[in-house]
Amino acid sequence: MTGFKLVVAGYFGTAVIGIFSQITEIAKLSSWLEYGALGLLGVTIVGQLYIIVVSQRDQFKRMDGWEKQRHDDSQTLNETLTRLRENCAKKQ
């Protein structure tokens, strides 16, 4: 949720700076606002990257869980098949 807040703050800040940069009498402030807009754009990009990294991390954790489940299921299946073979050998 932090990444989403950063993205929203970045977009909102960029819009506010765009509105303030329309004021023509304040030339010096306008140039600083452009640098501020670049900074806010950077914050927005960092927020988006944070969202991507967190979602990838969560996906990898789920994949690790699935791999562990497959491994446990495979071991259980092997044990069951071994017992089945032993029981079939005893019956013959």
Look at residue 76 in the predicted model and tell me its pLDDT.
92
The total of other beta-carbon atoms located within 10 Å of residue 59's CB is 10
Q: Give me the helices (H) in the chain, please.
A: 2-20, 27-91
pLDDT in tens, 31-51: 666 667 777 777 888 888 888
Whether 44 contacts 7, CB under 8 Å: yes
Q: What's the CA gap between 31 and 77, in Å, rounded?
A: 69
pLDDT above 90 covers what percent of the chain? 12
Q: What's the CA gap between 3 and 43, in Å, rounded?
A: 10
